[in-house]
């Protein structure tokens, strides 16, 4: 049994741990959410403007990571970060022009099957050239330092940089679509394609450009995040379904909604990972802990073990 003095000593430590958990989870969750937005932004553009449900979208994210890993050995890290998304964007243009455009008239089912098959082909090509294991794509030493100290722990500068790049990307895409002539042409081609064609705009070319830009944004996310997270042949599959959850929750075709839902899912996942409690632990405070342990099942599952499934729920 704790004495009052012992309790007084433990209370500040508990509050400090609670504050540390909240602050770190908030920061990590926000930046992870911004990464999700970097990947889902392109998918949101493609679906919102073209109506194409692109199952191969996260494959472009994976290609961006592997291209940046290969190019940085030759031209350096920063040039690789710039060149890799451009190449991925060009690949997106090729996919739209020679694959999706041929099946677009048959409806969404054919587009879905084509992109679903394409995702498997890309994964197998990656394994063929790089092997079925992670590659040594790491943050360069010039960027591998602490931005600040948080509760005595160094917080990586590169993690913050990923968040800043995501915010810049959101701002540039939003301004491009809402404040420029290009954005007006793109939106008119979506909502009034025949009128846009009558005014002399090449609607198929606009769609091809949108798909290429969407693929390039995914490639940029892979090139930047691949150095911090693991670059492996399963990275597209690991993030693929979650990106679709982001797009659905944010509203199909809504760039602002994708940003909000990305941060929401990032925060939920980050906080859930750090909560090592179960329903049995909570019931223990009201004297029902032993009963819950005997029942088992869902009552004894830790919240941290459910972190990956909570966003789907």
- Mean pLDDT score of the chain, rounded to an integer? 85
Indicate the pLDDT class of residue 11, thresholds 50, 70 and 90: low
pLDDT of residue 81: 95
pLDDT of residue 291 exceeding 90, the answer is: no
Q: Does residue 42 surpass a pLDDT of 80?
A: yes
pLDDT at 8 over 50: no
pLDDT tier for residue 276 given thresholds of 50, 70 and 90: confident
| pLDDT above 60 (res 4) | no
- Cα 255 to Cα 21: distance, rounded to the nearest angstrom: 30
Long-range contacts of 296-303 (CB under 8 A, 24+ apart): 302/275, 302/276, 302/277, 302/278, 303/272, 303/275, 303/276, 303/277, 303/278
Residues with Cβ within 8 Å of residue 54, at least 6 apart in sequence: 43, 46, 47, 111, 115, 211, 214
Higher model confidence: residue 64 or residue 289? Answer: 64
Least confident of 81-85, 114-118, 298-302: 298-302
CA distance 231 to 103: 32
pTM for the whole structure: 0.86
pLDDT tens sequence across 132-188? 999 999 999 889 888 888 878 888 999 999 999 999 999 998 888 888 887 787 777
Q: Look at residue 32 and tell me whether its pLDDT is greater than 60.
A: yes
Round to whole Å and give the CA distance between 127 and 203: 36
Q: What is the pLDDT of residue 75?
A: 94
38, 225 in Cβ contact below 8 A?
Answer: yes
Top mean pLDDT of 31-35, 45-49, 251-255 is at 31-35
Residue 33: name the closest of 313, 264, 273 by CA.
264
The full DSSP string for 260-271 is HHHHHHHHHHHH
Domains of the chain, start order: 18-274 (1.10.3470), 276-312 (no CATH)
More confident residue, 52 or 139: 139
Query: What distance in Å separates the CA atoms of residue 54 and residue 45, rounded to the nearest whole number?
Result: 11
**Does residue 45 carry a pLDDT above 90?**
no
């Amino acid at each position: 049994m704790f004495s009052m003095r012992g309790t007084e000593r433990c209370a500040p430590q508990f509050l400090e741990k609670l504050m540390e958990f909240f602050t770190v989870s908030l920061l990590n969750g926000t930046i992870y959410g911004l990464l999700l937005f970097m990947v889902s932004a392109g998918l949101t553009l493609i679906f919102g403007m073209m109506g194409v449900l692109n199952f191969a979208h996260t494959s472009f994210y994976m290609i961006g990571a592997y291209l940046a890993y290969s190019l940085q050995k030759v031209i350096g890290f920063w040039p690789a970060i710039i060149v890799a998304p451009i190449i991925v964007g060009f690949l997106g243009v090729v996919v739209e022009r020679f694959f999706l455009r041929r099946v677009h008239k048959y409806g969404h089912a054919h587009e879905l099957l084509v992109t679903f098959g394409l995702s498997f082909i890309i994964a197998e090509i990656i394994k063929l050239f790089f092997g079925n294991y992670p590659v040594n794509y790491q943050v360069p030493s010039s960027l591998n330092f602490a931005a600040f100290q948080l509760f005595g722990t160094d917080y990586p500068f590169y993690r913050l940089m990923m968040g800043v790049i995501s915010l810049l990307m959101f701002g540039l895409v939003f301004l491009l679509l809402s404040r420029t002539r290009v954005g007006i042409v793109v939106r008119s081609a979506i909502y009034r394609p025949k009128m846009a064609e009558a005014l002399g705009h090449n609607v198929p070319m606009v769609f091809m450009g949108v798909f290429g830009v969407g693929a390039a944004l995914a490639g940029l996310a892979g090139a930047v995040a691949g150095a911090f997270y693991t670059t492996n042949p399963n990275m597209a599959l690991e993030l693929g379904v979650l990106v679709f959850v982001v797009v659905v929750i944010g509203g199909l075709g809504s760039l602002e909604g994708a940003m909000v839902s990305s941060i929401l899912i990032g925060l939920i996942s980050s906080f859930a990972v750090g909560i090592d409690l179960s329903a049995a632990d909570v019931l223990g405070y009201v004297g029902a802990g032993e009963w819950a342990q005997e029942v088992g099942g869902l009552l004894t599952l830790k919240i941290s073990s459910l972190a990956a499934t909570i966003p789907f729920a």
